[in-house]
Amino acid sequence: MLAIRESTLQALLAALQTIPATVLRGEVLPERVPAGGLLILRDGEPGEPEVTLSPLAYHYQHQAEVEAVVQGAARDADFDTLTASIGAALAADRTLGGLCDWVEAEAPRPVDLPVEGGPALKAAVIPVVLLYSTADALG
């Protein structure tokens, strides 16, 4: 049986996989960015939980991260489409199938990254906040 933290991250990955882009989890940036863009889910930090004692529960505001990367001549428009798709995928089910209380992405801070001998990359780290509770700090 998976811990709630891992189940929630897997559900977030599944939501991201509905986007027409290459979606990875915990991988390094590949040498080539696919035409539809690239998303890399990073597990992030669960942070310090708020604790209630009756019944015992740990309430987390887990901050995962999604690295969004596009490349090509239309990278500004492609980046906008990719980030809008992330928002739409999360808005489709804010509880990730009932695994968390709420999921919400924060605004990206895009940067242009030059690539030697090729078109520049446009990339951003998008924080995704997962609110969930568990009966065990390791769960």
CATH number for domain 4-134, candidates 3.40.50.150, 3.90.320.10, 3.30.2000.10, 3.40.50.970: 3.30.2000.10
Whole-angstrom distance, CA of residue 118 vs CA of residue 87: 29
93 in Cβ contact with 15 (< 8 Å): yes
pLDDT in tens, 17-26: 999 999 999 9
Buried-state track 54-80, b at ≥16 Cβ within 10 A, e below 16: eeeebebbbbbebbbbbbeeebeebbe
3 in Cβ contact with 99 (< 8 Å): no
Bridge partner residues of 70 (DSSP) = 122
pTM tops 0.85, yes or no: yes
pLDDT in tens, 55-77: 999 999 999 999 999 998 899 99
pLDDT in tens, 75-99: 999 999 999 999 999 999 999 999 9
Burial class (CB in 10 A: 0-12, 13-18, 19+), 133: middle
